[in-house]
Amino acid sequence: MLAETSGGRKIRGSVGGIGDVSLKHFKDYNGFHLYKLYYAKREEAQGIFESEMTRRGSGFPAYIDVSLHAPNT
């Protein structure tokens, strides 16, 4: 892989830009696989959150309210 510096010189083995970094992340580090797992579980997690928010006797809504209004320390 060749990248061009601001002076116009070619450098072998350096990263050419954000596209190359992204491609390396997704190809070599299975970054897209992790995102697919997160995205697949997103709807399930939203359903659990909504059911807990509407369930009577659950302390979850109070916990969320306290967490949102707690002072930043």
State how beta strands 2-4 and 10-12 pair. antiparallel
Predicted confidence (pLDDT) at residue 4 exceeds the cutoff of 70: no
Span 17-70, pLDDT tens digits: 888 887 887 778 777 777 788 888 999 989 998 998 898 888 888 888 887 777
Given this model, what pLDDT does residue 8 score?
56
Given this model, what pLDDT does residue 16 score?
67
The Cα 3–Cα 21 span in angstroms is 13
What global pTM score does this model have?
A: 0.42
Structural domain harbouring 59: 2-69
Q: What is the distance of C-alpha 37 from the center of its chain?
A: 11
Please give the residue that has the higher pLDDT: either 4 or 70: 70
- Indicate the number of domains in the chain: 1
